[in-house]
Amino acid sequence: MKATITPAAPPTSKPYPKLMIDTEDGDIFYMKTESRGTLIYSTRKGADVGTDGRWITSYFVDFEGSITLSN
């Protein structure tokens, strides 16, 4: 799978569901609710992309930009 990330303007608050980025490590999540979402992009070695779960989003901000997924 190939992921292409294109950041855009500074983040603004959007309603759920939405894309969010972890400001500490750059992981990007598809968040269904404030605490539930799926990891869809990570540069960390061994990160389990596709993991769905509850996340502590105190270090997350809305992701502005686009993500293209392809095989």
Q: Is the pTM of this model over 0.85?
A: no
Which residues is 68 bridged to in the sheet? 4
Predicted local distance difference test score (pLDDT) of residue 27: 95
Question: Which residue did the predictor score with more confidence, 69 or 16?
Answer: 16
CA distance 66 to 51: 20
Predicted local distance difference test score (pLDDT) of residue 48: 93
Q: What is the tens place of the pLDDT at every residue in 15-61?
A: 999 999 999 999 999 999 999 999 999 989 999 999 999 999 999 99
Contacts of 62 (CB under 8 A, 6+ apart): 11, 12, 13, 14, 18, 19, 20, 21
How far is it between the farthest Cα atoms of the chain?
Answer: 32
